[in-house]
A and B are shown apart, each in its own frame.
Chain A
Amino acid sequence: MGPLGLLLRVAALVVAGVLAVTLGARHVAPVPDLVLVLVVAWALWRGPVAGGLAGLLGGWVLDLVPPGAAVLGLHALAYGAAGLLAGRLRVTGPVAAPRVAGATLAAAVLVEGLDVLRALAVRAPVDLLEVGVRCLLTATLAALVVPLVVGAERAVLRRRFG
């Protein structure tokens, strides 16, 4: 991947991060995890290492896009692990929607689960219903969007190498 490709992917993650926080300000709730959808797309396309790197980048975007995170880097680590996990679920051949939904659900449960553990550690309240709905919504969106992202990546590859 060239510098331009990397820049475009980072820009896509920033747009997803900004879109997520501004949708919340427009009282859209629950908001699916748009950054995670992109991370899973690249993990299923390129494998665990690329997925982990995309997750780290996506997490850093969430850590830095205002209002950001209380502790810098925590989202990056969680999303990096989620990208790694989703990449391990990659299979060769076309990316089917049920597999995408399953991989995204696993990644979302990992990300949200770490947040839930953090809350339980300080004995803060946890709304498991809201967390569950958010995971399902993210998985549903991913089933629709990830095949498009992977298709776009394939098209770019075909154009470059014929």
Chain B
Amino acid sequence: MRHRPTPRRLAVAAALLTVLVVLADLSGALDLSPVRTLAAAGLGPLERVAGPGGDEASRLRAENTELRTRLADADRRLAESADARALLSDPALEGRPLVLARVVGVGAPGPAGPERVTLDVGSRDGVEVDRTVVAAGGLVGRVVAVAPWTCDVLLLGGPDVTVGVRVGSAGVLGEASGSAAEGAAPPPPGSMSLSLVGAGAMAAGDPVTTLGSAGGRPFVAGIRVGTVGSVAPAAGRLAATGTLEPAVDPATLDVVGVVVDPQRSTPRPTATGSG
């Protein structure tokens, strides 16, 4: 005689399995990226269709409504091309190959706002994991997962994002993070914590740019991150801490650029020490 599992047993088994998956993902014991890629490959195209862009006036709409829709669409396209122009004319991005993309999905918001977004470009467009994502105003975040048609971006300001930065005209080295710096209070919502790595000074209003990573991954150098919002009193600390006001508001993201590999074909010339 066959026994069918009761709903209660099924629920307990599903919950236990989920706990195992969480533990495996947290500990890194199991690589779950194929699961994410599979889900993104299946659901990403759906988001691309349902997301902004590609809106066509319905044949069944009344003429007046159709004209209004077309006008609104034209305005949006104009704004987008202005966005794209502003992005491409940013001096920090001069000479960098970019793939222009549109935000088609915003993930479940965290306690201080959105933390992840989906773009309508993927591995078929040359996008890879750990690439810098920029908007016309500055740094947006970094690519954390790539599927054929879409990619997921971890936004600046999320608790899991830390960026090496240069502060002010002197280029003092520091670190910007979505969570509180060591010994400092958590930043207010919409801001990031900023801490200098060594002795140095910063003042409110100082520009903050990316320090850059080896090979430009995950962050290329010289991209505007924001400005110093406030500086905390250095009570017993060697390095100053403060808050950073990000240059880009994640709530208004639309057209962004993903910095891709310049595909260097000529190796960098070697230099010889003369000392």
Q: Which residues of A contact B (CB under 8 A)?
A: 14, 18-22, 24-27, 29-31, 33, 49-50, 52-53, 56, 59-60, 62, 64-77, 80, 112, 115-116, 118-119, 122-128, 130-131, 134
Contacts and interface: CB of A to CB of B under 8 A. Distances in A.
B12 to A, nearest CB: 9
30 contacts: A25-B103, A25-B104, A25-B105, A30-B109, A49-B7, A52-B11, A64-B36, A65-B43, A65-B47, A66-B105, A66-B150, A66-B152, A67-B116, A67-B153, A68-B39, A72-B32, A72-B35, A74-B22, A112-B111, A119-B110, A119-B112, A122-B159, A122-B179, A124-B110, A125-B186, A125-B191, A126-B186, A127-B189, A127-B190, A130-B112
Q: Is the interface of A mostly helix, strand, loop or mixed?
A: helix
Given A21-B118, A124-B186, A80 B180 contact: no
A21 B152 CA distance: 12
Given A68-B36, A119-B112, A29 B251 contact: yes
Interface residues of B, number: 61
A66 B22 contact: no
B50 interface: yes
Given A64-B35, A64-B43, A67-B118, A56 B188 contact: no
Interface in B228-274: 251-252, 254
A67 B108 CA distance: 9
A116 B7 contact: no
B104 A124 contact: no
A35 B28 CA distance: 28
B26 interface: yes
A134 B109 contact: yes
B112 A126 contact: yes
B105 A24 contact: yes
Interface string B162-198: 0000000000000000111000001111110000000
B178 A53 contact: no
A77 B19 contact: yes
Contacts of A22: 47, 50-52, 104-105
A76 B50 contact: no
Contacts of B82: none
Interface string B30-52: 00100110011001101100111
Contacts of A123: 179-180, 186
Contact of A73 (B8, B18, B252): B18
Nearest to A81: B15
Given A31-B109, A124-B111, 5 more contacts: A21-B108, A65-B47, A77-B19, A126-B112, A130-B113
Contacts of A122: 159, 179
Nearest to B178: A124
B257 to A, nearest CB: 17
A52 B7 CA distance: 10
B160 interface: yes
B10 A53 contact: yes
